[in-house]
Amino acid sequence: MPLLSILRFPDPRLKLPSEPVTEFDARLKRLAEDLLETMRAAPGVGMTAAHVGVPKRIVVIELDRQKEPQFYVNPKVLSASPEIAVHEEGSVSMPGAVEEISRPRSIRVAYYDLDGTHHESDADGFLATCLQHEIDQLDGIFWLQRLSRLKRERLIRKWEKSHR
């Protein structure tokens, strides 16, 4: 399976909303497998098709290599808990940059699997953070937008300096 080219910050395509997947076919499954291999090589724990310039609503998350990776097609947050959790986040599109971000501790998400079967499930802790992070990306919200202006500017300067 070929590794895909990951868009790098500040590529403007990272700010574009992704279109819903409408065809659940062999091409979708091939894209999903290519995303998984690309994410593993990056390395990362979550990735969207938007990260490789494909504006389709597909996410892969693999928090534990001992378990099956999870694919979420057209994911949508249905509800979120009022409790907040803080986790370090980063992006395969901005390697090496991390910062703490606050998000709801748990969520309920609706999505389709690669065969087009509808699911709803609850996620909490780091999985909830990862899903919210990747769904933001599908909506054209790059993770830096969740930071205060001061933190965002400081992180960008530091990252740009280390990638010259």
List, by residue number, the catalytic residues. Answer: 134
Nearest to 51 by CA among 38, 40, 64, 65: 38
Nearest to 87 by CA among 130, 150, 45, 148: 130
| E-assigned strand segments in the chain | 46-48, 58-61, 70-80, 84-89, 99-104, 106-112, 118-124
Cα–Cα distance for residue pair 82/99, rounded to 1 Å: 22
Helix (H) or strand (E) holding 100: strand 99-104
The structure tokens listed for 6 are 């990951």
Q: Which phi-psi region, left, alpha or beta, contains residue 96 (left: φ > 0; alpha: ψ -120 to 50)?
A: left
Cα-atom radius of gyration of the chain, to the nearest Å?
15
